[in-house]
Structure 1
Amino acid sequence: MYNFWNNLYKFPRFLIAVLIGFFLTTFKPIFKLLKNKKMQIALPIIIIISINIIYLILKEMIK
């Protein structure tokens, strides 16, 4: 029974470490792109267009 509680105690730290690792590996390439002057303009436009497309697709799916 001690192993169970010990593993349960370690789980939140593991979950936080996985989430931090996910975000670091996801956003590191984006930060590298932002060093380029042209991408500083293009990246927000790409993100806004992507969010709008996802919104429109979901809106049509709900109808």
Structure 2
Amino acid sequence: MNEFWDNLKRFPRFLFSVIIGFFLTTFYTIFELLKEKNKRLTISSIMIIIILIIIIILRRMLGIN
């Protein structure tokens, strides 16, 4: 039973490292693509469109005008 509680205590650290690893691997590829001048405009516009879509969806879901 002690092993269960030890694993449960380690879970937040594991979850934090998984989240950090996800963001590092995701943003590393985006930053590598941004180094090339011809892809910079395309990646930037795609990111802006995605952010705007998320904002619109959240506003409609939450009923914010």
Q: Normalising by the residue count of structure 2, what TM-score does the alignment of the two structures yield?
A: 0.67
Residues 11 and 39 (structure 1), Cα distance of their counterparts in 2 relative to 1, 3 Å cut: same
Identity value in percent: 52
Query: Aligned residue for 1:11?
Result: 11
Considering only aligned residues, what root-mean-square deviation do their CA atoms show, in Å? 2.2
Higher relative CO (Cα under 8 Å, sequence separation at least 6) belongs to 2
Residues 37-52 of structure 1 mapped to structure 2, 5 A cutoff: 37-52=37-52
TM-score (norm: length of structure 1): 0.69
Unpaired stretches in structure 2, ≥5 consecutive residues: none
For structure 1, the residue ranges without an aligned partner over 5 or more in a row are: none
